[in-house]
Amino acid sequence: MEANFNKITINTKALENSPHENLLANAYVTFEGPVGNFTIKFFTIWKSKYGGFNVEPPTNLQRKFCSFDKKLWNLWKEDIIEEYKKSSGHTPEDNIPVIKE
């Protein structure tokens, strides 16, 4: 099977009543293509203990639901954090480094 996607969009949703003080938001990545769309939900955006933000893929206590090539994952993390900054009102002066693995 070969799938071609025309567009990838990222949306974030701030968590008002977060179960953890450092958990800030969820992110959703949607792939749009000529035959339809699909979305990967529940990436989490955290306030990093090292300063800045970090992103985790969808998980539960036992396992990760998605596995990514490291280069792709680092690009996605940066894009997800940039979208979070825009949607939550952060300004360019608030640029906080992305924590890379």
Q: Assign residue 70 a region (left: φ > 0; alpha: ψ between -120 and 50; beta: otherwise).
A: alpha
Pick one of 3.30.1120, 3.20.20, 3.30.1600, 3.30.310 as the CATH number of 7-94: 3.30.1120
pTM score > 0.85 for this model? no
Which pLDDT value is given to residue 26? 95
Give tens-digit pLDDT for 29-75.
Answer: 999 988 889 999 989 999 988 888 999 988 876 777 777 889 988 88
The domain ranges of the chain are 7-94
